[in-house]
Every structure is written in structure tokens, then in C-alpha cells.
């Protein structure tokens, strides 16, 4: 463990909207379009967050949102900012990030092929959690969590040569065989398209006031077992990520096979898991971790040039000969 290199990305987390057509049993972030807590981030607010992040040395701009709802109130909100579609709005948010010297990574639910192709041009990489190949009660009210739909989207990203982050969510009602099948599905997609840069193995964290608020989270032992299984199933060129703010057992997770801890933000919280604070770099170093900062696009794909043309100047400026951040 002492000699193991652990990678991370210094980022800013931009929650584009908390309105989503899905209604997952474990999600505490989502709001109905009619809720007083529902929002679409204002362009000015996003700009200030991006500007602050650039000033603090961040390189990744993580744009996160769910699947666009069909509710007219959602589109009325978009039109106030001058947009007809969420993808058009996110495209311009990505351009704003690029102008400030940041590299966008968009994780925005399942998109049509043409919208995915459009966003490729302004992103260093993109992502979508597979979560599971099982059909679960947790996703009963979530049409876009259909496993076949998500697998097709991940395949579309492969066809477009988009460096891609995906992952599984552990503890939402799936079986051990479901976990294996999910990891094998990701492996098989990568064998066809060679675009999966990392797989997140994320532990379910129960949220109050959700349908799964009283469900017991997976044990540390189960998470270690899943990580070992993932490392056994996935190709060596696919990194495993363990989110560092969702566990107090990060070192054990790294020893079990994870080699990346994802985005660490000095300027924003994890809006999906706001009760789980990101550790600081000093805290991580105090754990004895040997850290190396990467871009939101992994070195393999930096060298291949698999990223949007709009981000090319920043990537060439900010990456070293090995594809990591200078």
C-alpha cells in the first residue's frame, strides 16, 4: 500500500438541476418540478462557481443532473434562461467552463445519440452509472434506470469514442449474482469499444425521507468483497474508484483493489451526498496515501486524443508526457 499510486481529480461540482424524471427509492437530491426546492442552476451562479474553482486550481468541472423530466414547468424554467433543451443549456455551461480553463465532465442521465454527440465536443470525458443490470424495487418509478437503456447509452458513448466513467451502486436490493453480472456487462462493453476509463464501486448511503431511508447500508466486508470481485472481473486498464467521502474505510477499499478516489473539491460539496464531506488533500496525505493528480480524462485517452476538440488546448497545456496533470 505504501508504494501504491492513488489518483484523483481536483474539481468543482455543478448541480445543474435537481428535477428528474426518475424517482429512485434511495435519492435524496431529486425534487418534483412543482416543489419550492426544485431548481435549475442560474447561468450567473454556475459562472461564479466555475470562476472560483479556476482560481483555486481546479481543473475538472463536473456537471451533474438526472434525466430530463417531461413536465412543462421544467421547460418553462429552461426558457427563462433562453433554452429549449437541457442539453443546449449544458453545452453553453461547458463552454463557459472551457473559457475559464476548466475541463468539463458531464454526467447527465441517458441522452439521445445526437445530444451525446453534441456534448462530446465540449467534454474531456463523460459518465453514467450503470448501477445494476437487475430490475429492482428501488427503480420501480425510474424509467431511465432500465438496465438495457443504460447499457445502450454506454455503448453509444463507446461508438463516439468518449472516455467514459461508469459504475455500480452496492446495497440497493441487488444480489451477489447481480453484482457479478453488472461488472461483467461493463467488462463486455469495454472489450467492444475500449472506452471505459474507470468504474466506480459506490456504497449505498441511506437518506432520510426517502423510500429506502431505513434500509441498512452494505457492510465494509461486503464492499471489500465487491471491490475484489470487480478487480478480478475488469480488465487491468480500467481503474476502480472508491468515493472517499462515503466511507471511513478508504484505506481498506484501496487495498482491496481501488486505485482512484475520484473528484476532490475545495470549493463545493457533494450535492448528492451533502452529509458526506470530501476529505482534504492534507487529510488524505496524512493517511499515508501517495497521491497523483489526473485530468478528468485518463492518461490512456489523453495520449489517444479521445476528447472533444473544444477542450484540446487545455488538455495539451495541462497534461504531462504521461498524460497526468502537470
Cite the annotated binding site for [4Fe-4S] cluster by residue number: 20, 24, 27
Residue 178 CB neighbour total at 10 angstroms: 18
| Measured CA angle at 308 (ends 304, 310), to 5 deg | 125
Residues making up the annotated binding site are 20, 24, 27
- Per DSSP, the three-state class of 53 is helix
Task: Report CA-CA distances (Å) from 20 to 16, 66, 71, 170, 325.
Answer: 11, 5, 10, 22, 34
Q: What is d(CA 205, CA 287) in angstroms, rounded to the nearest whole number?
A: 23
Beta strand spans in 39-111 (E): 60-64, 103-107
Helix 86-99 and helix 43-55, axial crossing angle in degrees, nearest 10: 30
Element (H, E) at 306: none
Tell me if 40 sits within 8 A of 82, measured CB to CB: no
Parallel, antiparallel, or unpaired for β 125-127 and 164-170? parallel
Amino acid at each position: 500500500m505504501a508504494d501504491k499510486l492513488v489518483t484523483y481529480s481536483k474539481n468543482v461540482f455543478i448541480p445543474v438541476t435537481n428535477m428528474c424524471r426518475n424517482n429512485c427509492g434511495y435519492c435524496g437530491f431529486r425534487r418534483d418540478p412543482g416543489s419550492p426546492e426544485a431548481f435549475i442552476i442560474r447561468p450567473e451562479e454556475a459562472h461564479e462557481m466555475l470562476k472560483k474553482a479556476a482560481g483555486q486550481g481546479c481543473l475538472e468541472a463536473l456537471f451533474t443532473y438526472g434525466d430530463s423530466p417531461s413536465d412543462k414547468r421544467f421547460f418553462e424554467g429552461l426558457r427563462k434562461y433562453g433554452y429549449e433543451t437541457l442539453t443546449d443549456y449544458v453545452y453553453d455551461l461547458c463552454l463557459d467552463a472551457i473559457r475559464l480553463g476548466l475541463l468539463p465532465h458531464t454526467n447527465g442521465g441517458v441522452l439521445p445519440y445526437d445530444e451525446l454527440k453534441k456534448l462530446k465536443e465540449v467534454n474531456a470525458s463523460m459518465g453514467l452509472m450503470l448501477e445494476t443490470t437487475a430490475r429492482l424495487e428501488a427503480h420501480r418509478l425510474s424509467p431511465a434506470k432500465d438496465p438495457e437503456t443504460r447499457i445502450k447509452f454506454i455503448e453509444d458513448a463507446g461508438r463516439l469514442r468518449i472516455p467514459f466513467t461508469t459504475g455500480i451502486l452496492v446495497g440497493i436490493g441487488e444480489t451477489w449474482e447481480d453484482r457479478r453480472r453488472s461488472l461483467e456487462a461493463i467488462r463486455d462493453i469495454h472489450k467492444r469499444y475500449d472506452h471505459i476509463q474507470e468504474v466506480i464501486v459506490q456504497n449505498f448511503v441511506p437518506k432520510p425521507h426517502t423510500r429506502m431511508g431505513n434500509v441498512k447500508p452494505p457492510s465494509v466486508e461486503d464492499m471489500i468483497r465487491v471491490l475484489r470481485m470487480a478487480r478480478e472481473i475488469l480488465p487491468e486498464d480500467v481503474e476502480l474508484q472508491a468515493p472517499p467521502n462515503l466511507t471511513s474505510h478508504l484505506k481498506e477499499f484501496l487495498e482491496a483493489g481501488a486505485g482512484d478516489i475520484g473528484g476532490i473539491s475545495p470549493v463545493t460539496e457533494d450535492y448528492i451526498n451533502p452529509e458526506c464531506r470530501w476529505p482534504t488533500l492534507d487529510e488524505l496525505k496524512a493517511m499515508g496515501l501517495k497521491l497523483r493528480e489526473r485530468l478528468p480524462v485518463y492518461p490512456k485517452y489523453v495520449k489517444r486524443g479521445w476528447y472533444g476538440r473544444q477542450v484540446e488546448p487545455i488538455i495539451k497545456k495541462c497534461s504531462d508526457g504521461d498524460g497526468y496533470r502537470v
